[in-house]
Structure 1
Amino acid sequence: MQPRPSAPREPDLHEAMTRAERAVFHRASPEFLLDRARRVFHRALLDERVLVTHPSTGVPSNADKDSGTSVRYATAIAEGIGAVEAAPRAPGQSASRNFERAVAAYLQGIFPAFGAVRPGEWMVRRLGDRNEYGGIEDASEIFEQYEHLVSLRETIESDRALRGLLGYEAEILAPDVVVARAPIPDAELNELTRLVDPLGPLAAASPLRAAVQPKLLLHAVVACKWTLRSDRAQQARAEAQHLVRNRRGRAPHLVMVTGEPMPSRIAAVALGTGDLDCVYHFALHELMDAIDPQADPAGAELLHTMVQGRRLRDISDLPLDLAV
């Protein structure tokens, strides 16, 4: 009996797949959520023209065109991901916004799966998009740890002398992507064990109780920088310091996701004083494959230092780290 021919597949569709998508196409075992989410995340970057190659030069959109090393590493990353199109990059700030949206969508797709280890009502969203929500939203108006800044801002804005002295304190806190949880009703806290007395004086100040306060609890702030130049590295550090310095209560996780291909530029944020908990690369495994220790021993050593020092991780590690 002749074996049945395999079902035909669309050659154009197969050609358009990323390398990760082709691997899944041929995989017999069930797919894991983190595998699928990372693949969908990369596909979003391709579809939204965040990661493209220049039509005439072939330089990837996350490379510094004036640096041969940056172009070489970015090209290797693009080849590792696969199916990167030669097309104009998204105009203006659209690439940055699309990168933030892709990171937010990535976390939104995974975080519900942590219900067993991180139960609760969780929210992942962007705050800094003027178009998405009708205006930039201020963290002080949303999150419990920063609500005191509302009255501080009103006081500063009403006093010219204070404005001159502390004007920076009145700046809007609008991180790129935030992860937050809602406070818990007493009935839910008492569901398995009689934990809190709704009418008693104990635990009457904990913001985790919805009976105490209604605002969301900021759990994590994810800065999104598609590329890293010196000004962006300093901006990320300043934003993290601002969030830590002005909080009241628990500090949120402070992390960054980047697509920067140069280890030296990543190190400017990842190493040092530890303003950020950790830096996450959108394609760390592809970057590690791209660096040849013989051709660039300093870059390879720096990358190894960041990875082994737990200062740089892949995007697939981020959801698990945020569940801590």
Structure 2
Amino acid sequence: MTALNFVDELLGWRTLEQRTVQRLGRPYAPNCADADNCDIADYIYASHRVGRILRPGQTMGASFEALLLDHLFGEISRLDPNRKWLARPGRVISDFAQYAHLGVLEEQIKANVVLRTEFGREYAIKPDIAIGVEVAAAQPLLHAVVSVKWSMRSDRVQNVRPEGALLLRHRRGRAPHFVVVTAEPLPSRIAAIAMTTGEVDAVYHVMFDEMAEAVRQVGTREQKERWFELVTQGRVRDYAALPVTLTST
């Protein structure tokens, strides 16, 4: 699995603000990276001759999620056609058998100001992508939850661990897979999610091979050590392995 045959249509150079251009001496930065720290992304984009210039303000999160949903659903359906797969964005987990009781709890919270004040909407989890399996005469089972992160800024990862913890804590039955899929180029930011205590199965990178080569070529010593740790401990894996993982269990 490479960037060229999966996410190539999303890769591009974003224009920088004039003050950033003056500070850094460059007009563009890879759209998956910070302008201040993008050596790894620069290497990947240059190696694959990415030349597309993005419109100012263009964001990739929604596009990445839609592309990933289509690709992942197609792959798991092909690999395991015997199960009736469902793949939906933004579907509440109470629609699935293991979490149906949370729908009842949510109604009680809505109707009671004390409960609403105490718990808020903690239980109303809407994953980026929910993958289910239809079951005859019953609610579908939640097979996997996929958190989609084109990049990993600090303000975009704070919901991942609590979401994983809630999925584990409140299930009635088998726990679903909980994975993160990303194009983030900084090993340190990936580690902020990947090196958990069990909330996340693993982080799957859509440019895994490209990352490995870029880190080897232009990464700092710390980045090389962190990437090695993440890979050898199975905390970061190639996205190509995800459909197989999901259909083998």
* TM > 0.5: yes
* SS of the residue 1:219 aligns to: strand
Q: Distance in 2 between matches of 1:295 and 1:253?
A: 31
Specify the SS of the correspondent of 2:226: helix
Cα gap change, 1:256 to 1:102, in 2 (>3 Å): same
Alignment of 1:157-306 (within 5 A): 157-169=110-122, 171-183=123-135, 210-211=136-137, 213=138, 215-292=139-216, 296-306=220-230
For the aligned residues, what is the CA RMSD? 2.1
1:141-171 Cα deviation digits (max 9, x unpaired): x2111111111111111111222222244x4
| Off by >4 Å, runs of 4+ in structure 1 | none
Deviation at 1:89, TM superposition (A): 5.7
- Return the offset for 1:43: 3.1
How far apart are the structure 1 equivalents of 2:219 and 2:106? 53
TM-score of the pair, normalised by structure 1: 0.68
Deviation readout 1:170-200 (Å, 9 max, x if unpaired)? x4221001211111xxxxxxxxxxxxxxxxx
Match of 1:99 among 64, 68, 74: 64
Residues 114 and 273 from structure 1, CA distance in 2 versus in 1: closer, same or farther, beyond 3 angstroms? same
Say how many residue pairs are matched: 238
What is the CA–CA distance in structure 1 between the aligned matches of 2:42 and 2:218, rounded to whole Å? 18
The residue type paired with residue 62 of structure 1 is C
The one-letter code of the counterpart of 1:156 is I
Specify whether residues 223 and 89 from structure 1 end up closer, same or farther in structure 2 by C-alpha distance, changes over 3 A only: farther
**Corresponding letter in the other structure for 2:124:** I
- Can you list the C-alpha shifts for 1:106-140, whole angstroms capped at 9, x where unaligned? 1122112213xx7211122312xxxxxxxxx4221
| Residue 108 (str. 1) matches residue 73 (str. 2) | yes
- Rg (Cα) greater in structure: 1
Q: Which amino acid in structure 1 is aligned with residue 99 of structure 2? A: Y
The answer for the alignment partner of 1:152 in structure 2 is: 105
> What is the deviation of 1:294?
7.9
Runs (5+) with no aligned partner, structure 1: 1-33, 46-50, 128-136, 184-209
Change in CA separation of 1:111 and 1:251 when aligned onto 2, cut-off 3 Å: same
Q: Distance in 1 between matches of 2:51 and 2:170?
A: 42
Secondary structure of 2:158 counterpart: helix
The letter for the 1-side match of 2:67 is A
Structure 2: runs of 5+ lacking an equivalent:
17-26
User: Is the contact made by 1:52 and 1:88 (CA closer than 8 Å) also made in structure 2?
Assistant: no
Q: Percentage identity across aligned positions?
A: 35
User: Which residue of structure 1 aligns with residue 31 of structure 2?
Assistant: 61
Amino acid at match of 1:65: A
Question: Which residue pairs with 2:22 in the alignment?
Answer: none
Q: Select the structure with the greater relative contact order (CA < 8 A; seq sep ≥ 6).
A: 2
Q: Residues 126 and 82 (structure 1 numbering): CA distance in 2 closer, same or farther, change over 3 Å?
A: farther
Q: 1:309 to 1:297 in 2, by over 3 A?
A: same
The CA distance in 1 between the partners of 2:63 and 2:56, in whole Å, is 11
- C-alpha distance in 1, partners of 2:88/2:115? 33
In the other structure, the counterpart of 2:93 is 139
Please point out which of 41, 51, 54 is paired with 1:87: 54
Measured at CA, do residues 247 and 84 of structure 1 come closer, stay the same or move farther in structure 2, by a change above 3 Å? farther
Is the 2:40–2:186 Cα contact (8 Å) retained in structure 1?
yes
Taking a change above 3 Å as real, the CA distance of residues 244 and 82 of structure 1, as seen in their structure-2 partners, is: farther
Q: What TM-score results when the alignment is normalised by the length of structure 2?
A: 0.87
